[in-house]
């Protein structure tokens, strides 16, 4: 099985590049992650509520709504780019991915993401591999797997009429490599005119934009603006022109995927931003979250607390993580010896860290190939829930460790709907 899995992964370009190492078959759990109909029904209202908040944040930030700048600080580079966006175009097209756990009482949202989402090509290939090598031979019958490549195609079609799309991201790629070339290749098989490259490889001749010589009329950027070079860079002259013309997606709302967005959802200070129905959803699904710094705030029970002192009393209840970084990097659990030192660092770096109540979903047993062996391990799971204003998309990751991320030793798990 392990050998067949390697062969099939390479054939389908289901590849992962660990940092500093050669590419390998993407880590993949052989057990399907089965999603029931009632679970998808519970996730849609949550995704819609978070999506609406994302869309409102650029204007709230610009207008100086109290507390937004402290919770969602923007880096100088991001502000330089956002100053160029035509305000008449509003927050721009947006697609988000919530990372949630599925507990016995319903979904638990850990964070939200809006750029460099990943999973579109990877999940489609993972589902095909699991179906071919595991489900069909064993006679297991499930419903369909969510098609994230089709999800992205439909989102791009809704975001603009043109099928001439360039996918851009800066080098170097990884860790994890990139799936954008495969996304572009897939869309070409459907009649789209797509290309892939870096933002500096865009060109313009006689009013026609091109990427690596192929005409494009829109650009999908798989990168945060904070990680882009300066807009004054001559190498980005054409990308800047397309950005200023509103021809790049996603729009400015994608820059607000701070983990401290969950403070906005769980603090009475921001309750006026939401409807009564949204507040009920957040109370049920979002763990208590706060920007970690020396401050007075409301605790999980609503009573005022001195935050840092409060977090030292029962540290096993909390975890600390970077406000902006991804990949599971920098997470500190309250049960670790360096908890006090981590809190002191957060106090010195206000806005860079958030603290969150630990609410883990139950572990599930998963088969995961490790080299030539296949091991069964109890794993934590995180479901990626995609939403762009239309239907939902899904993929999952599992890990035997406390941090559910492929970069931290986890694996992708193919989502299948339960058979009706």
Q: What is the pLDDT of residues 351-377, one digit of tens each?
A: 999 999 998 888 888 998 887 888 898
The beta-strand segments (E) located in 11-169 are 15-16, 24-25, 33-35, 96-103, 106-113, 164-168
What does the mean pLDDT of the chain come to?
A: 92
Q: β-strands 364-370, 353-357: how paired?
A: unpaired
Q: What is the pLDDT of residue 174?
A: 53
pLDDT digits (tens, 9 = 90+) for 71-83: 999 999 999 999 9
Structure tokens that stand for 187 in this block = 């869309």
pLDDT digits (tens, 9 = 90+) for 18-45: 776 788 889 999 999 999 988 998 999 9
Q: What distance in Å separates the CA atoms of residue 238 and residue 202, rounded to the nearest whole number?
A: 6
H-helix segments, 205-352? 237-244, 261-266, 276-285, 307-313, 339-348
User: In the chain, where are the structural domains located?
Assistant: 2-257+362-417, 288-357
* Look-up of token digits 């975890």: 319
Q: What is the pLDDT of residue 48?
A: 98
> Of 174 and 41, which is predicted with more confidence?
41
- Supply the pTM of this predicted model: 0.94
User: Region 409-416: what's the mean pLDDT?
Assistant: 92
Least Cα distance to 270 among 293, 292, 291 occurs for 291
Q: Is the pLDDT of residue 126 over 70?
A: yes
- Contact between residue 155 and residue 148 where contact means Cβ atoms under 8 Å apart: no
User: Region 214-230: what's the mean pLDDT?
Assistant: 95
Neighbour count for residue 374 (Cβ, 10 Å): 13
Count the helices and strands in the chain (H runs, E runs).
13, 23
User: Region 182-196: what's the mean pLDDT?
Assistant: 97
Hey, which CATH number is domain 288-357, 3.30.1490, 2.40.50, 1.10.10, 3.40.1760?
A: 3.30.1490
Kindly give, in sequence order, each residue whose CB lies less than 8 Å from that of residue 170, ignoring residues fewer than 6 positions away: 198, 199, 223, 227, 228, 229
Least Cα distance to 71 among 50, 57, 85, 91 occurs for 57
Least Cα distance to 375 among 136, 14, 31, 35 occurs for 31
Q: How confident is the model at residue 173 (pLDDT cuts 50, 70, 90)?
A: low
Q: Is the pLDDT of residue 98 over 90?
A: yes
């Amino acid at each position: 099985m392990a050998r067949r899995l390697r062969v099939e992964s390479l054939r389908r370009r289901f590849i992962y590049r660990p940092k500093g190492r050669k590419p390998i078959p993407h880590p993949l759990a052989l057990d399907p992650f089965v999603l029931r109909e009632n679970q998808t029904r519970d996730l849609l209202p949550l995704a819609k509520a978070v999506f609406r908040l994302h869309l409102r944040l650029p204007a709230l930030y610009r207008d100086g709504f109290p507390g937004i700048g402290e919770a969602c600080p923007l880096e100088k580079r991001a502000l330089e780019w956002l100053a160029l966006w035509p305000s008449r175009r509003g927050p721009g097209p947006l697609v988000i991915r919530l990372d949630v756990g599925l507990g016995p009482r319903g979904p638990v949202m850990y964070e939200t993401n809006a750029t460099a989402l990943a999973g579109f090509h990877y999940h489609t290939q993972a589902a095909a591999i699991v179906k071919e090598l595991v489900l069909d031979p064993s006679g297991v019958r499930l419903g369909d797997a969510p098609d994230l490549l089709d999800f992205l195609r439909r989102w791009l079609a809704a975001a603009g009429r043109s099928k001439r799309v360039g996918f851009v991201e800066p080098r170097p790629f990884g860790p994890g490599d990139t799936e954008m070339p495969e996304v572009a290749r897939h869309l070409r098989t459907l009649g789209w005119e797509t290309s892939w490259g870096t933002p500096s490889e865009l060109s313009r001749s006689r009013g026609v934009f091109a990427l690596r010589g192929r005409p494009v009329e829109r650009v999908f950027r798989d990168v945060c603006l904070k990680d882009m070079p300066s807009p004054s860079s001559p190498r980005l002259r054409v990308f800047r022109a397309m950005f200023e013309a509103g021809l790049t997606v996603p729009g400015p709302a994608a820059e607000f995927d701070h983990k401290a967005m969950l403070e906005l959802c769980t603090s009475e200070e921001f309750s006026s931003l939401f409807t009564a129905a949204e507040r009920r959803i957040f109370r049920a699904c979002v763990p208590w979250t706060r920007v970690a710094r020396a401050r007075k705030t409301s605790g999980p029970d609503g009573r005022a607390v001195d935050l840092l002192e409060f977090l030292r009393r029962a540290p096993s209840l909390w975890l600390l993580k970077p406000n902006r970084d991804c990949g599971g990097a920098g997470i500190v659990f309250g049960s670790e010896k360096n908890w006090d030192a981590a809190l002191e660092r957060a106090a010195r770096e206000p806005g860079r860290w958030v603290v969150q109540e630990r609410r883990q979903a139950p572990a599930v047993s998963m088969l995961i190939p490790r080299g030539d062996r296949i091991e069964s391990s109890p794993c934590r799971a995180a479901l990626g829930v995609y939403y762009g204003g239309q239907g939902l998309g899904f993929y999952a990751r599992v890990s035997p460790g406390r941090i559910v991320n492929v970069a931290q030793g986890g694996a992708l798990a193919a989502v299948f709907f339960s058979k009706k």
